[in-house]
């Protein structure tokens, strides 16, 4: 298993992995088939992340992308010290410590780049992810009620943060 920074040439494989994630779990933002980004769209996003000083790490297994963590850095000066995180790991690779590895690598980058606040949201029902985040030092700051509609029902999210 290898963790590395995304490059524009990853766009095809990244779109494929994200679409697979959408079918494997209801805990991602997009429903199956809803994600419309093309490889070209993704290439432009990757270039934009690079320019903005954000981070996008890939978890790779023998040339196959199996997970990621992104840290979108605040652009205005008032929030430049913070980063919003999104993480996803394919079903067959969950529960093996890879999420913790991604968080550790991301946190190292954050510290090296003057980021002192990490934040994310997680559906309240996603106990496996919440436990990982708590293990990594995140805490619940609040609850966003009726944040999403998943399979026809309202779902709440927790706001979670970690101060570095």
Laid out side by side, the sheet with 64-73 consists of 2-5, 55-61, 64-73, 82-89, 117-123, 153-163, 139-150
At 51 the pLDDT is: 87
Task: List, for residues 24-71, the tens digit of each pLDDT value.
Answer: 888 887 777 778 888 898 899 999 888 889 999 999 999 899 999 999
pLDDT score recorded for residue 75:
87
Tokens for 1? 């298993």
For 107-130, the pLDDT digits (tens) are 999 999 999 999 999 999 999 999
The predicted pLDDT at position 4 comes to 96
- pLDDT score for 35: 80
Prediction pTM value = 0.92
What domains, with CATH codes, occur in the chain? 2-115 (3.40.630.30)
The C-alpha angle with vertex 44 and arms to 15 and 80, in degrees rounded to 5, equals: 105
């Amino acid at each position: 298993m290898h963790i590395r920074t995304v490059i524009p040439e990853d766009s095809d494989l990244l779109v494929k992995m994200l679409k697979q994630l959408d079918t494997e779990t209801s805990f991602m933002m997009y429903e199956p088939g809803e994600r419309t980004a093309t490889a070209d769209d993704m290439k432009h996003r990757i270039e934009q992340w690079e320019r903005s000083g954000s981070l996008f790490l890939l978890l790779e297994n023998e040339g196959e992308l199996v997970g990621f963590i992104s840290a979108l850095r605040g652009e205005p000066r008032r929030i430049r010290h913070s980063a919003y995180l999104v993480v996803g790991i394919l079903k067959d690779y969950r529960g093996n410590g890879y999420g913790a590895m991604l968080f550790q690598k991301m946190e190292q980058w954050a510290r090296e780049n003057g980021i002192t606040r990490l934040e994310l949201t997680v559906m309240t029902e996603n106990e496996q992810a919440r436990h990982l985040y708590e293990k990594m030092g995140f805490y619940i700051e609040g609850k966003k009620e009726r944040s999403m509609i998943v399979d026809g029902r309202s779902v709440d999210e927790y706001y979670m943060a970690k101060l570095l």
